[in-house]
Amino acid sequence: MSLDLTTATARIARELGESEVAIANALAKTTALLHSAAMAGRDVPGAPELESQRALLRLQKIVGGLIEARGEAARVHDQLRKIAVETGAGEEPTCPDKSFTSAEHVTTIAA
Protein backbone atom coordinates (compact mmCIF):
# COMPACT_ATOMS: atom_id res chain seq x y z
CA MET A 1 0.00 0.00 0.00
CA SER A 2 1.62 3.22 -1.09
CA LEU A 3 0.94 6.71 0.14
CA ASP A 4 0.53 9.83 -1.93
CA LEU A 5 2.42 12.98 -0.96
CA THR A 6 -0.52 14.63 0.81
CA THR A 7 -1.39 11.54 2.85
CA ALA A 8 2.23 10.84 3.76
CA THR A 9 2.79 14.45 4.80
CA ALA A 10 -0.31 14.51 7.00
CA ARG A 11 0.49 11.17 8.59
CA ILE A 12 4.13 12.04 9.27
CA ALA A 13 3.20 15.44 10.72
CA ARG A 14 0.63 13.87 13.04
CA GLU A 15 2.87 10.99 14.15
CA LEU A 16 5.91 13.23 14.58
CA GLY A 17 3.95 15.53 16.86
CA GLU A 18 2.61 12.57 18.84
CA SER A 19 6.13 11.16 19.20
CA GLU A 20 7.53 14.47 20.41
CA VAL A 21 4.77 14.80 22.99
CA ALA A 22 5.27 11.19 24.15
CA ILE A 23 9.00 11.78 24.66
CA ALA A 24 8.31 15.01 26.57
CA ASN A 25 5.74 13.22 28.75
CA ALA A 26 8.11 10.32 29.43
CA LEU A 27 10.86 12.75 30.39
CA ALA A 28 8.56 14.64 32.76
CA LYS A 29 7.26 11.46 34.39
CA THR A 30 10.72 9.93 34.74
CA THR A 31 12.21 13.05 36.30
CA ALA A 32 9.27 13.08 38.74
CA LEU A 33 10.06 9.45 39.57
CA LEU A 34 13.73 10.33 40.06
CA HIS A 35 12.73 13.13 42.43
CA SER A 36 10.40 10.87 44.42
CA ALA A 37 13.04 8.14 44.67
CA ALA A 38 15.65 10.66 45.84
CA MET A 39 13.27 12.04 48.46
CA ALA A 40 12.38 8.53 49.66
CA GLY A 41 16.06 7.62 49.94
CA ARG A 42 16.58 10.69 52.09
CA ASP A 43 13.42 10.55 54.19
CA VAL A 44 12.51 6.87 54.64
CA PRO A 45 14.39 5.32 57.54
CA GLY A 46 15.90 1.92 56.92
CA ALA A 47 16.02 2.21 53.13
CA PRO A 48 19.06 0.28 51.88
CA GLU A 49 21.47 3.03 50.83
CA LEU A 50 23.43 1.02 48.27
CA GLU A 51 20.34 -0.31 46.50
CA SER A 52 18.78 3.15 46.55
CA GLN A 53 21.90 4.58 44.96
CA ARG A 54 21.86 1.92 42.23
CA ALA A 55 18.24 2.70 41.45
CA LEU A 56 19.00 6.43 41.24
CA LEU A 57 21.89 5.78 38.86
CA ARG A 58 19.63 3.71 36.60
CA LEU A 59 16.96 6.39 36.65
CA GLN A 60 19.62 8.95 35.75
CA LYS A 61 20.51 6.87 32.68
CA ILE A 62 16.87 6.75 31.65
CA VAL A 63 16.55 10.54 32.01
CA GLY A 64 19.74 11.05 29.98
CA GLY A 65 18.46 8.75 27.27
CA LEU A 66 15.17 10.61 27.08
CA ILE A 67 16.98 13.94 26.82
CA GLU A 68 19.04 12.51 23.96
CA ALA A 69 15.88 11.15 22.33
CA ARG A 70 14.28 14.58 22.58
CA GLY A 71 17.25 16.12 20.79
CA GLU A 72 17.18 13.45 18.09
CA ALA A 73 13.45 14.00 17.61
CA ALA A 74 14.11 17.71 17.10
CA ARG A 75 16.76 16.90 14.48
CA VAL A 76 14.38 14.51 12.71
CA HIS A 77 11.70 17.20 12.78
CA ASP A 78 14.06 19.63 11.07
CA GLN A 79 15.10 17.06 8.45
CA LEU A 80 11.51 16.13 7.68
CA ARG A 81 10.60 19.81 7.40
CA LYS A 82 13.36 20.25 4.80
CA ILE A 83 12.16 17.16 2.91
CA ALA A 84 8.61 18.54 2.90
CA VAL A 85 9.83 21.78 1.35
CA GLU A 86 11.98 19.96 -1.24
CA THR A 87 9.19 17.61 -2.30
CA GLY A 88 6.62 20.35 -2.55
CA ALA A 89 4.56 18.94 0.29
CA GLY A 90 3.84 22.48 1.28
CA GLU A 91 5.40 25.79 1.87
CA GLU A 92 7.89 26.23 4.66
CA PRO A 93 6.00 24.52 7.52
CA THR A 94 5.68 26.26 10.83
CA CYS A 95 7.27 24.07 13.49
CA PRO A 96 5.54 23.82 16.87
CA ASP A 97 8.49 25.25 18.79
CA LYS A 98 8.26 28.44 16.74
CA SER A 99 4.56 29.15 17.09
CA PHE A 100 3.15 27.31 20.09
CA THR A 101 3.79 27.49 23.79
CA SER A 102 2.51 24.14 24.99
CA ALA A 103 2.41 20.49 23.94
CA GLU A 104 -1.37 20.58 24.23
CA HIS A 105 -1.57 23.01 21.30
CA VAL A 106 0.78 20.84 19.25
CA THR A 107 -1.37 17.76 19.77
CA THR A 108 -4.52 19.66 18.86
CA ILE A 109 -3.05 21.06 15.65
CA ALA A 110 -1.32 17.80 14.64
CA ALA A 111 -4.51 15.75 14.97
List, for residues 66-102, the tens digit of each pLDDT value: 999 999 999 999 999 999 888 888 655 455 554 444 4
Q: How far apart are CA 21 and CA 49, in angstroms?
A: 35
User: Cβ of 29: how many Cβ atoms within 10 Å?
Assistant: 11
- Please state, for a pLDDT cut of 70, what percent of the chain lies above it: 79
Residue 23, domain extent: 5-110
- Report the pLDDT value the prediction gives residue 96, as an integer from 0 to 100: 56
Tell me the one-letter amino acid at 31.
T
Could you give the number of structural domains in the chain? 1
